[in-house]
Amino acid sequence: MILQVLADGLVVGSVVSLGAIGLTLTFSILRFSNFGHGELLAWGAYLALSALGWFAALGGGQPFAPLSFGWPLLGALAAAAAGTAGLALALDWLLFRRLRAQGAITLVIASFGAALALRNLLFFLYGGIPQYYSGELQMAIRLVPRSVAGGLRITPDQLFVLALTLAIVLGLHLFLSRSTMGRAMRGTAGNPQLARVAGIDPEHVLRVTWVLGGVLAAVAGVFAGLTVQLRPTLGQELLLPLFAAAILGGIGSVWGAVIGGLIVGLAESAAVMWVGAEYRAAVSFLVLIAILLVRPTGLFAEKA
């Protein structure tokens, strides 16, 4: 059973990691905890569902065997990423930008209100019934026989999620470490005043941060819907794991968020396997409390 727990944990951790990266970038540059970030995942997932219907109506499209989806879902993923990035920018322009001078506490409270509004709007538009991207019945592939550590079965969709997550994380690492904008974002996160003196436009950096956070949230939401199901409470359910992963890895550290997400995913998978699915939500809370008690700065906190 150990291999199965590891595989399931990596899939869950991939979703959490992508969401946690956006959360840690937002916190390190905008200097507040955005409790509405989980709802961006949910909106990304449902925007992809709507776009999927539009793309399917244009020409259908057969699934890419052995995956359960074809080009319509890939197009829907791109559309959802753009739409969620636009939603994040709109939230900043309509709400957060006007309240920045009031301090972090005001922004945190505003993010709570935004989360409630976005969640209830999802319920209004899509209803509360769980939905799926595909009706295709996908069989898991046995990669390891049961005689070896309990065996390992995984679906092609889960393998796709793992592979694309790795590609996204590597691409983001290159962007942040090699590009001019990536270095500007890191400089703004480390010392906003010095970055401004160096000629970096802080407002442009903030906009890029919101776009990146929105895109990553959309991808994470689609992956969650692809591997499990779509429901309007998706963002609320993922919010605590996102914060646990971001804090565990260290605020400001992209690789820390990735590793923190994988640890949270593995812990949740182990809890489901050996304790019960009803205790899954408590795992992220316990991980969060433990890291705050033992190492409040996280495992890989960025040094100023």
pLDDT tens-digit map of 105-133? 999 999 999 999 999 999 999 998 999 99
pLDDT of 301: 66
* C-alpha span between 234 and 212 (Å, rounded): 20
Question: What mean pLDDT comes out for the span 291-298?
Answer: 82
2-294 maps to CATH 1.10.8: no
pLDDT of 304: 44
Buried b (16+ CB within 10 A) or exposed e, 163-193: ebbeebbeebeebbeeeeebebbbbbbeeee
Question: What mean pLDDT comes out for the span 70-76?
Answer: 91
Q: What tens digit of pLDDT does each residue of 33-51 get?
A: 899 999 999 999 999 999 9
pLDDT of 200: 86
Higher pLDDT, 171 or 101: 171
Mean of the per-residue pLDDT values for the chain? 89
- Residue percentage of the chain with pLDDT more than 90: 56
Among 169, 194, 190, 213, residue whose Cα is nearest residue 39: 213
pLDDT of 294: 84
Q: What tens digit of pLDDT does each residue of 135-173 get?
A: 777 777 888 878 787 788 899 999 999 999 999 999 999
Whether the per-residue pLDDT at 235 is higher than 80: the answer is yes
